[in-house]
Structure 1
Amino acid sequence: MTRPIVRVYTDYKSPYAFVANKRLFELEETCGVELEWLPYTLRVAEFMGTVETRTPHFWRKVRYAYMDARRYANAQGLVMKGPRRIYDAFYSSVGMLFAQRHGFFRSYHDTVFRKFWGHELEIDELAAIIDVITSCGGSGSAFEAYVNGPARAEHDRIIDEAEALGVFGVPTMVFNGELFWGGDRIDMLIERIERPETVAAALGSRHRKPA
C-alpha cells in the first residue's frame, strides 16, 4: 500500500528547521507517511533586509527568535550556537539532493544540521560540503561535477516550484496541497493526516456565504 507523502522544504541555516527535524522524521513512524525532503534555500537579504538597514526592532526580534529556537534545541539535547555570519546554503542544499540520489541522505542531513549549528561546518564552502559527502560514503568528485553541471538549474527549479505553491519560509510541510509553515504547525499537520476530511470542512467554511 502506498503511503501518503508529506513534502518538507528545509534549509540548513534555519534554526527552526533544525529544531523541527527530529519531530518531522517521527511522522514516518507515528503517522505512516513518507517524507519527501526538498531544499528551500532562504535568500536572507530578500526578506530580512541587509544588515545595514535593519532596525533596533528587527534585532530584538532576531534575538528572541534564536533564544526561542534554542529552548526547543535544549529540550531535545541539541547544541545550537548562533550563526557567525549570513550564509548562502546553496552547496549544502544541492548536497541534500545528491545524497538522496546516492543513498546516504539521512546521514548527510543529520551531519550537516549538527555540524553547522555546532560551529563545525561552513555550509557555503564547497570543500566543506565535499568533506561531509565523502564522510558519508559518497564521491566527492561526482558531487563536484554535479555542482558544476546541472545542480544550479535543478536547485532553482525546485525553489520556483516551491514559491508557486506559496512557500516563503522553512520548515514548510505540504500535504494534499495544503501548506503548514513552522514546527508549531506539526500538530495541525498530524490532524490533517489522521483526519483528511477536516480539510474539506475547513475549505468549505471559507467559501460558505453568510446566512
Structure 2
Amino acid sequence: MPGAAEIDFYLGLGSRYSYLAASQVERIEKTYDCRFVWKPIASGALMDRRGGNPFRGEPLSGQYDWGYREYDAKCWADYYGIPFREPIGFRVDPDRLALACLAADRQGALVPCCRLLQQLIFVDGVAIDDTVLAGLAEPLGLDAEVFQRDLQAPQTRARHERLLDEAKGRGAFGVPTFFLGDRMFWGNDRLVLLEAALAA
C-alpha cells in the first residue's frame, strides 16, 4: 500500500476494548487506504509504569467496575455485529500473551497470532495457559520448536520492554491507543475521531 497512512496500534491481548477495536481495523484500512501497525503490549505493565493503575484494588470510578465493563463491551459487540464473551482469568502472566505475538512475528505471523488469541479469549472462552500458548504454533503454521525458543528468548522480552517504553514515551496510558503521526487516539470509542482524521 505505497503512500498509505500508517497508524500505530498499541493493543492488549486481554483487553476487551482492544478486541473490539481490532474488529474494525480491516474496514478502516479498506475505507481510508491506510495501514495499521500492530504493537502488542501488556497493558497492565504500561499502566504500572505510568503509576496509578486503575485496575489495582477497588474500582476508582464506575467506568472501571467489572460489571459495567462487561455490559459496555457487550453493547459495543452488538453494535459491531461481532461475538463477545467475558474472558476467563489467565493462567499465565499477562505479558506472556504479548510475548507470544512478538515470538510469532519472528515467523511473520504477528497479526494472525493477535487475532487467534483474541478469538480464543473473547469468542471461544479458553483459559489461556502455557499449553494453549505452545499450541498456537500449529494453527498459525509456525515451526513449533522455533516458536517456543523465541517465546522464551531474552530478545523477545527486550522487544516488549522497548514497546512499553515507546508507548509510555509517546504519552499512551492504556489500550487500545492509536497514533496517526503525533496525534493520539485512546480507546475503541475514539475510532470515530481517528476515522475523521483519516478522512480530513
Please tell me whether residue 103 in structure 1 is matched to residue 100 in structure 2. Answer: no
Match of 1:41 in 2: 42
- Number of aligned positions between the proteins: 192
Q: 1:69 aligns with which of 69, 73, 95?
A: 73
Match of 1:5 in 2: 6
Change (3 A) 1:136 1:62: same
Matched-pair identity in %: 21
Name the stretch that deviates more: 106-115 or 133-142.
106-115
SS at match of 1:129: helix
The AA in structure 1 aligned to 2:108 is: G
Query: Considering only CA atoms, is the larger Rg found in Structure 1 or Structure 2?
Result: 1
Q: Please, which runs of 5 or more residues in structure 1 have no aligned partner?
A: 196-211
Match of 1:191 in 2: 196
How far apart are 1:117 and its partner, in Å?
Answer: 1.5
Q: Give the alignment of 1:79-158 within 5 angstroms.
A: 79-85=83-89, 88-123=93-128, 125-149=129-153, 150-158=155-163
Name the stretch that deviates more: 56-65 or 17-26.
56-65
Report the aligned-residue RMSD.
2.4
Distance in 2 (CA, whole Å) between partners of 1:16 and 1:34 is 19
Q: 1:161 aligns with which of 160, 166, 175?
A: 166
Q: 2:182 aligns with which of 172, 177, 194?
A: 177
Higher helix share: 1
Q: Please, which runs of 5 or more residues in structure 2 have no aligned partner?
A: none
The AA in structure 2 aligned to 1:80 is: F
8 Å CA contact 2:103–2:151 kept in 1: the answer is no
Q: Higher RCO, 1 or 2 (CA under 8 Å, sep at least 6)?
A: 2
TM-score by length of 1: 0.80
1:85-136 Cα deviation digits (max 9, x unpaired): 366322221222233342333432222101112354333x333112112211
Change (3 A) 1:156 1:102: same
Distance in 1 (CA, whole Å) between partners of 2:146 and 2:6 is 29
